[in-house]
Structure 1
Amino acid sequence: MNRPTAPPPPGASTPRSTGWPRRRPTPTATRRRTTMPIKPGRLGIGIIGAGKVGAVLGAALRATGHAVVGVSAVSEASLERAELLLPGVPVLDIADIVERSELVLLAVPDDALPGLVSGLAKTGAWQAGQLVAHTSGRFGTGVLAPAKAAGAITLALHPAMTFTGMSLDLARLADCSFGITAEPAMLPIAQALVVEMGAEPVVIAEADRTLYHAALAHSANHLVTIVSQAAQILGDIGVEAPNQVLGPLLRAALENALASGESALTGPVARGDAGTVASHTQALREHALDTGSKDIVDAYVALSSATAARAARRGLLSAEAFLGIQAALTADDAGPSTGPGGWPD
């Protein structure tokens, strides 16, 4: 893709060496000096939240020449993370960070974001021309409306990646996409920030942010749950290294699914092998009685039912085979069926 250079928003002055908007400086009587020098054409960035995401993105932006002028960190883990990934960056109060920064990056939990933004607005912290970005997948720029009302330029920058909070995440950014949302005139700014970090920007409409985030959570988070459930079963039957058994299978399955979509589907459901599905279900019910891990059989039934329905809609399963799978999933089940029961629409 073409690597965009961010144009300035209307009314902003721009140094010749860069496309970054420069907000008018606050009078020196009311503005504290930053403790770190900023290169010409670079932004002074403040990180609010030294969690796994905030610290890594701060380090990535710093590596491109921007100056991280301050970071907020409260817990011992976040303080250690800030020291590791952002050495030399002062740990400051949130109000001080907002005052000193040309770009404020809000890397806080989703539920904390609205209150943080509105709370800072009530104190008059946000500044005209200031860039304000958050890393939440759930929200677009609407949650930043209080900052926008004060004249700030608002961006949503969500990395579609799971973070460890360690330096290895920086290398992973090269293969990462960011879901970005901004007003059309400001999209090049969001795109340029993402490209500078080595990642790929993907524009997500404001109204689609929740569905976008649900898709990512459904895939990545539930993948962890499924792998953990499978490893538990293998461990429960005496397999000493479940991950070694699962690793090659899961890597191949993921690569095939990403390359070929549902055409990569294999296994008893795809074959319409109702007898195998019934035996799996019965064995998992017995395992649940022995271990108390009913979540595993519930997940197997729900996902097998969904797999059968999707395979039937694509013509991979006949109506007879589909109904056979559904019957196998509910046979000898004292509870209500978790499958759709009838032919999928």
Structure 2
Amino acid sequence: MDQQRSGASRRPASRLAVGVVSAGRVGSVVGAALTRAGHRVVAASAVSDDSLARAARHLPGAEILTPPDVVAAADLVLVAVPDDAIAPLVASLPVRPGQIWVHTSGALGAAALRPARDAGALTVALAPAMTFTGRDEDLERLGGISWAITGEAEARFVGEALVLEMGGEPEHVDEADRARYHAALVYAANHLMTLVNDAADQLRAIGIANPERLMEPLVSASLDNALRHGDAALTGPVSRGDAGTVARHLRALAGTDIAETYRAMARRTAERALESGRLKSADAEGLLDVLAHPDTEESQ
């Protein structure tokens, strides 16, 4: 019974006083989402002109204070600084027992907040599975997304409640799995941007004035197909075992920045196609030979 009362006392209330450290791309938007959920961002730290502008736009009721003063004013402390800065920053700040401390790093678990936990705070890692560009649409994109939650039992409960209040979907991730979780998201989101922008550069180099418009229907359909159908959606020369076409691609890309990336991605695509049965072993032999030997010349 006492344990139940203790848990109940730390559940998110309808009007928690939130302090944001700091008002960067993520902190300002998550702070705004907590405001929409009924909490009050009472203070935020911001130093750069961009951070001050974001605080004014997304956290208009927040007083701009130093990090220690932000913490002193808050029931819920939202730490949204670069990953490597979280642990030393938390260790340097005052903690009031009974506070809720949250960080938004995807790669780190609740262990990064250990100094606050040791001082009597409830600590939880709460990372939105979303990219933040600093544009106004960032806040609108939070609706319905997943959030990775890591913490001890009571902290997970509080994190889940906060996520649901913000209109998100909670996803519990073990402390030991946070780095792999984050690596998967980076692999999909950040590397996708690199692939798309590299492809746009190649099209621009051969005179296509608006490669983004040309690629948008194809890339959007491919992403949608991959998310809905997995490996079954794979198309293109690798899935057909079309060694001649792949060899021509490699010759055309020779000397460009993406030549070896194309080769590596084609090899990985072939592996997945073989594993899923989209590519037959007999059809893969010539393709894999082309990918293994850069100087292979296919007959036209």
TM-score normalised to the size of structure 1? Answer: 0.81
1:167–1:160 CA distance, 2 compared to 1 (3 A) = same
CA–CA separation in structure 1 for the residues paired with 2:77 and 2:118: 16
State whether structure 2 residue 51 is matched by structure 1 residue 56: no
AA of the residue aligned to 1:314: S
AA of the residue aligned to 2:111: G
> Alpha-carbon deviation of 1:10?
5.4
> Alpha-carbon deviation of 1:181?
0.9
CA–CA separation in structure 1 for the residues paired with 2:127 and 2:91: 20
Structure 2 unaligned blocks of 5 or more: none
AA of the residue aligned to 1:140: G
1:309 pairs, out of 243, 255, 271, with 271
Residue of structure 2 equivalent to 1:211: 180
Residue of structure 1 equivalent to 2:284: 322
> Alpha-carbon deviation of 1:90?
1.1
1:250 pairs, out of 209, 219, 232, with 219
Structure 1 unaligned blocks of 5 or more: 1-7, 22-40, 335-345
CA–CA separation in structure 1 for the residues paired with 2:107 and 2:8: 33
Residue of structure 2 equivalent to 1:11: 6
1:303–1:13 CA distance, 2 compared to 1 (3 A) = closer
Q: Deviations over 1:73-124 (max 9, x none)?
A: 111111111111111311100000111100000001111112111222xxxx
1:165-244 pair list within 5 angstroms: 165-244=134-213
Q: Is the 8 A contact 2:232 2:278 kept in 1?
A: no
Q: Deviations over 1:39-97 (max 9, x none)?
A: xx410000001111100010111122211011111111111111111113111000001
AA of the residue aligned to 1:221: N
1:178–1:252 CA distance, 2 compared to 1 (3 A) = same
1:65–1:332 CA distance, 2 compared to 1 (3 A) = closer
Residue of structure 2 equivalent to 1:20: 12
Residue of structure 2 equivalent to 1:340: none
1:267 pairs, out of 221, 236, 243, with 236
Q: How many residues were matched structurally? A: 294
AA of the residue aligned to 1:325: L
The secondary structure found in structure 2 opposite 1:88 is coil
Q: Which moved more, 1:166-175 or 1:64-73?
A: 166-175
1:88-107 pair list within 5 angstroms: 88-107=61-80
Residue of structure 1 equivalent to 2:261: 299
1:230–1:62 CA distance, 2 compared to 1 (3 A) = same
AA of the residue aligned to 2:210: A
Residue of structure 2 equivalent to 1:73: 46
CA–CA separation in structure 2 for the residues paired with 1:13 and 1:241: 56
> Alpha-carbon deviation of 1:9?
6.9
CA–CA separation in structure 2 for the residues paired with 1:86 and 1:235: 41
CA–CA separation in structure 2 for the residues paired with 1:216 and 1:10: 38
The secondary structure found in structure 2 opposite 1:174 is coil
CA–CA separation in structure 2 for the residues paired with 1:10 and 1:190: 18
Runs of 4+ in 1 over 6 A off after TM superposition: none
CA–CA separation in structure 2 for the residues paired with 1:9 and 1:154: 18
> Alpha-carbon deviation of 1:176?
1.2
1:130 pairs, out of 87, 90, 99, with 99
1:281 pairs, out of 232, 241, 250, with 250
1:141-160 pair list within 5 angstroms: 141-160=110-129
> Alpha-carbon deviation of 1:185?
2.5
> Alpha-carbon deviation of 1:13?
6.7
1:100-119 pair list within 5 angstroms: 100-119=73-92
Q: Deviations over 1:280-322 (max 9, x none)?
A: 011100xx3xxxx42x111111110001011112222222333
State whether structure 2 residue 57 is matched by structure 1 residue 84: yes
